[in-house]
Structure 1
Amino acid sequence: MDLRQLSYLLEIAKQQNFTKAAENLHLTQPTLSKMVKGLEEELGVTLFDRTGKYVKLTDAGIAAVEQIQIIMQSVQNLYTAIEDASNLKTGTIKIGLPPVISSVFFPRVIAKFQKLYPNIYFQIVEEGAKKVEGLVLDGSLEMGVVVSPVDAEAFEILPFLNQKLALVLHREHPLAQQPSVPLQKLRNEPFILFPNSYAVRNHVIRACRSIGFDPDVVYESSQWDLLAEMVAANLGISIMPEAICSKIVNPDCTTVELTDPSIPWELVVISHKVKYQSYAMREFKSFISGLTAE
């Protein structure tokens, strides 16, 4: 049996007459009767009592019609759910964000998107950038926001934010009043950085090594505000993204441009290059593209 045949049974039950049902279904009465007879043989029961002027459902027919109505409603629900998803009325986006990024940027981005699509929900997984890349590759996440560079052969990459890392100093540090500070002048400073799993730290280490020294990391924390407080306590210097530096409110901290070399900090949105992308996810990526174009 198929859905078409089930709909025919409902029409017969509604009209209580094979001829009238056949007219409404644009079938011949013998064709409809033959179809019903075949279904009765398949099910091993009699569905209609044909002895009177009007056909009536048997007990088995009543039970069958009740279940057919449930089936037809479920099929309609299926089509409605698909239509809602394709029209972005509903959906869930599972996205990975390193903690530094999630605390600074994405709450505002998500809030703007959900004003447009209030029934699109986000499931946010906070992990380091490398972990996020792995979760996108194995399909555990639909998309992630990480620090460039990433493997262009494995990921579809969408630029999101392009900034630099800046130097955070205690306000009484000898370099605090300089308009900019060459990285080389920090050779003998105690560094306060994010942990090894954070892309920000890796960028700092690479830049220092490129000019001939390994930074002396005396403290580390995954919380940018704690890093800032340690600088405010004059325990060392730190290097953070400009966007995070702008959120530091402790008056004992000051931010200075870092040069020679400057250290880029480019955020990109990544997704798997070949896996299926949901309607909601595609629209969210389009929304992000619009933000970066502004």
Structure 2
Amino acid sequence: MDVRHLQYFLEVAKQKSFTKAAKTLHITQPTISKMIKDIETECGVTLLERTGRKAVMTDAGEIVYKRAQQIVQSFDNLANELSDLMNIKRGKITVGLPPMVGAHFFPKILGQFREAYPEIIIQVFEDGAKKVIHDVESGALEIGVAVQPVDQERFHAISFVKESLRLVVHPDHPLASKEEVKLVELKDEPFILFREDFALHDQIIETCIRIGYFPKIAYESSQWDFISQLAAAKLGVALLPETICNGLDRNKVNIVKLIEPEIPWHLAMVWRKDKYLSFAAREWIKFTKKLL
């Protein structure tokens, strides 16, 4: 048995079909059937039940499937490491950035990194922090920026922003002239929040619930500038990070410190502990760590 046997088995299990797996792998169906039969003979168990056109894993197949994934991943990691040695300082990085983070912290870094490493391609994906952390965990992204805290057993994390949320209201709002506002004072206000795939959406709601009320949600958006514009149009109150508030037009909105409790906005660059990082990704982490 070699790694190809396991790769073929994983594909059949994924497709639940010998025919589909053969097409995906660009080999003949008899070849893939023989590979699976070789594994079953060597292991002394049946891995796949052939029911009509479907191939369903047995209990033994489930066990082999889990181990095969780990072995194939290790083999891929080895291939990637060897490729780094042969193609040093070349490669591609996939990075996930929430819109607020990408717009305010990374344009300059991306430009300087491109100058230093013109052979490295950076693919940037903009999504809410919840989606970013999910994609890093699944392997769809190598590196992402997420809102702290993150699972320290699963992720490496480099913290680079520690701020709090501020209240954003129209200048005519009764709370606009105050220096500080307690979160409980917003109990009857319509909230303008980020969408559910943003970490701040849950964070704001959970904090409100913790002090005794569920916020009245008037609008949701994925764009911080649209949220501030809705607040400027007297359609509700918004809670935005300090960095964002610093760039808002003070003729259209007032910014008020939020207290009791403060809602933190702590950011970190994260990547999986158990996944191999390419040379390019490691250089990106080292480079951004210095600048951030």
- Does TM-score exceed 0.5, indicating one fold? yes
Who is 1:198 aligned against?
198
**Alignment partners' CA distance in 2, 1:141 and 1:289:** 18
Who is 1:148 aligned against?
148
Report deviation, 1:240.
Answer: 0.9
**Contact persistence 1:232–1:250 (CA under 8 A):** no
Report deviation, 1:250.
Answer: 6.0
Report deviation, 1:83.
Answer: 5.5
**Contact persistence 1:229–1:250 (CA under 8 A):** no
Report deviation, 1:284.
Answer: 1.4
**Contact persistence 1:168–1:240 (CA under 8 A):** yes
**Alignment partners' CA distance in 2, 1:119 and 1:236:** 47
**Contact persistence 1:85–1:279 (CA under 8 A):** no
**Contact persistence 1:129–1:147 (CA under 8 A):** yes
Q: Quick one: structure 1 residues 193 and 160, their matched pair in 2 at CA, closer, same or farther if it must change by over 3 Å?
A: same
**Which residue type is aligned with residue 126 of structure 1?**
E
Who is 2:181 aligned against?
181
- Residues 93-140 of structure 1: per-residue CA shift (max 9 Å, x gap): 111122232233222221232232233221012222222222212222
**Alignment partners' CA distance in 1, 2:161 and 2:121:** 23
Structure 2 alignment gaps of length 5 or more: 1-82
Provide the alpha-carbon RMSD of the alignment: 1.7
Aligned pair count? 210
**Alignment partners' CA distance in 2, 1:238 and 1:108:** 28
The question of 1:259 aligning with 2:259 is answered yes
**Contact persistence 1:85–1:280 (CA under 8 A):** no
Who is 2:118 aligned against?
118
The question of 1:207 aligning with 2:219 is answered no
Moved more, 182-191 or 281-290: 281-290
**Alignment partners' CA distance in 2, 1:286 and 1:82:** 16
**Which residue type is aligned with residue 258 of structure 2?**
L
Who is 2:290 aligned against?
290
**Which residue type is aligned with residue 252 of structure 1?**
K
The question of 1:105 aligning with 2:105 is answered yes
Who is 1:77 aligned against?
none
**Contact persistence 1:183–1:258 (CA under 8 A):** yes
Structure 1 alignment gaps of length 5 or more: 1-80
Report the secondary structure of 2:173's partner residue: coil
Structure of higher CA gyration radius: 1
Who is 1:61 aligned against?
none
**Alignment partners' CA distance in 1, 2:131 and 2:247:** 26
Who is 2:170 aligned against?
170
Normalising to structure 1: TM-score of the pair?
0.67
**Alignment partners' CA distance in 2, 1:250 and 1:232:** 10
**Contact persistence 1:194–1:201 (CA under 8 A):** yes
Q: Quick one: structure 1 residues 249 and 119, their matched pair in 2 at CA, closer, same or farther if it must change by over 3 Å?
A: farther
Q: Quick one: structure 1 residues 85 and 254, their matched pair in 2 at CA, closer, same or farther if it must change by over 3 Å?
A: farther
**Contact persistence 2:84–2:278 (CA under 8 A):** no
**Which residue type is aligned with residue 203 of structure 1?**
Q
**Contact persistence 2:159–2:269 (CA under 8 A):** yes
Normalising to structure 2: TM-score of the pair?
0.68
**Alignment partners' CA distance in 1, 2:98 and 2:281:** 19
The question of 1:235 aligning with 2:235 is answered yes
**Contact persistence 2:84–2:279 (CA under 8 A):** no
Moved more, 256-265 or 118-127: 118-127
Who is 1:130 aligned against?
130
**Alignment partners' CA distance in 2, 1:204 and 1:219:** 14
**Which residue type is aligned with residue 206 of structure 2?**
R
**Which residue type is aligned with residue 263 of structure 1?**
I
**Alignment partners' CA distance in 2, 1:85 and 1:206:** 47
Who is 2:223 aligned against?
223
Report the secondary structure of 1:270's partner residue: strand
